[in-house]
Amino acid sequence: MTTQVLYEEPGPKAKRRSLFSSVGVGVVILAVLTWVLVTLGAQGQLTVEKWGPLIDPTNGTFGPLWNLLGQGLLNTLLAAALAVVLSLVLGTILALSRVTAARWYRWAVVGLIELLRGVPVVIAIFFASRVLPEFGVDLSLVWYLVIGLTAYNMVIIAEIVRAGILALPRGQAEAAYAVGMTRGQVLRTVLLPQAFRAMLPALISQLVVILKDTSLGFIIGYEDFVRQGQIIIQNLGNPIQTYIVIAIVFIVLNYALSRLAIWVEHRISHGRKAATDATAVEKEVAGD
């Protein structure tokens, strides 16, 4: 809904007024930002010693520092990629067993999903790292992190895939059965591909969540991006600067992923509704 409907169409006077208030608000926002910068400067947070190693390539520590951070970023991406693949596989299996299996088994799956969905992911990671060794399962740190992330995200993905299957028109499955396909074939060749396609934006958005949650590896000492940042801070004593840089990297990565999800969604809905709805979609995207 556009707020336009709530108000009168602005006349020349109202337009002038809103231009003035826009400038006023802009000045206030700039003033706040300036005040923040001045405060940081007064506290000696804008000095070259603090920022140089992070942003100045000619600085002696720049190379080794970004080596360390880069290694951390690779570790983060590795853990996230492993968790994504495992969650996708296990989540799809869970979703399929929930859709097709016998009643008692379905209840067990629903129970598992509800259980894992209610547990904070940080607890799942902590649980994996503390409990598995008690049972003699001795893994490297990355796997505890991956197991914790997978336990949580596979049920989310299972729900996404299930929603995708249920949203398909009934005729799809009926037609497939009618031409003599078995249940497995119907799922594999007709329903799943369509469900994945429809759910692709939701799945990509879940990637953002997994990538962010990988930073929880710090509680078990996994040397991810954030943990490497801590090592740098211990040596250089610049927490504000380092965390700002780390935050920017995460924000850029995740923002790119969410734009990708929106772009894919846009493409999919364009494909489906063809020309009839194109203008409506256009409007929606513009209003975002």
Q: Which of residues 217-276 bind another protein (CB under 8 A)?
A: 218-219, 226, 229-230, 233, 239-240, 243-244, 246-247, 250-251, 253-255, 258
Phi and psi torsions of 135, nearest 5°:
-100, 15
Compare residues 101 and 244 and give the one whose CB is closer to another protein: 244
Question: What does the block give as tokens for 19?
Answer: 């231009």
Count residues binding another protein (CB under 8 A). 55
Q: What distance, in Å, lies between the first and last C-alpha atoms of the chain?
A: 12
Say if CB 224 and CB 215 are below 8 A apart: yes
Residue 287 binds to another protein (criterion: CB under 8 A):
yes
Compare residues 179 and 286 and give the one whose CB is closer to another protein: 286
Shortest Å, Cβ 27 to another protein: 9
Q: Angle at Cα 77 formed by Cα 114 and Cα 241, nearest 5°?
A: 105
Amino acid at the residue 155 = V
- Over the window 109 to 138, marking each residue x when it contacts another protein by CB under 8 A and - when it does not, the resulting string is -----xx-xxxxxxx--xx--xx--x----
Residue 108 binds to another protein (criterion: CB under 8 A):
no
* Distant-in-sequence contacts of 40-43, Cβ < 8 A, 24+ apart: 40/240
Report the candidate in 250, 238, 244, 225 with the shortest Cα–Cα distance to residue 61. 238
Say if CB 240 and CB 40 are below 8 A apart: yes
Residue 6 binds to another protein (criterion: CB under 8 A):
yes
The single residue among 106, 212, 266, 270 that binds another protein, judged by CB under 8 A, is 212
All residues at 6 or more sequence positions from 229 whose CB lies less than 8 Å from its CB, including other chains: 69, 72, 242, 243, 245, 246
Shortest Å, Cβ 230 to another protein: 8
Question: What does the block give as tokens for 195?
Answer: 């469900």
Residue 55 binds to another protein (criterion: CB under 8 A):
no
The single residue among 16, 18, 74, 272 that binds another protein, judged by CB under 8 A, is 18
Report the candidate in 88, 132, 85, 125 with the shortest Cα–Cα distance to residue 222. 125
What residue ranges bind another protein (CB under 8 A)? 1-3, 5-7, 10, 18, 21-22, 25-26, 29, 39-40, 43, 45, 114-115, 117-123, 126-127, 130-131, 134, 208, 212-213, 215-216, 218-219, 226, 229-230, 233, 239-240, 243-244, 246-247, 250-251, 253-255, 258, 287
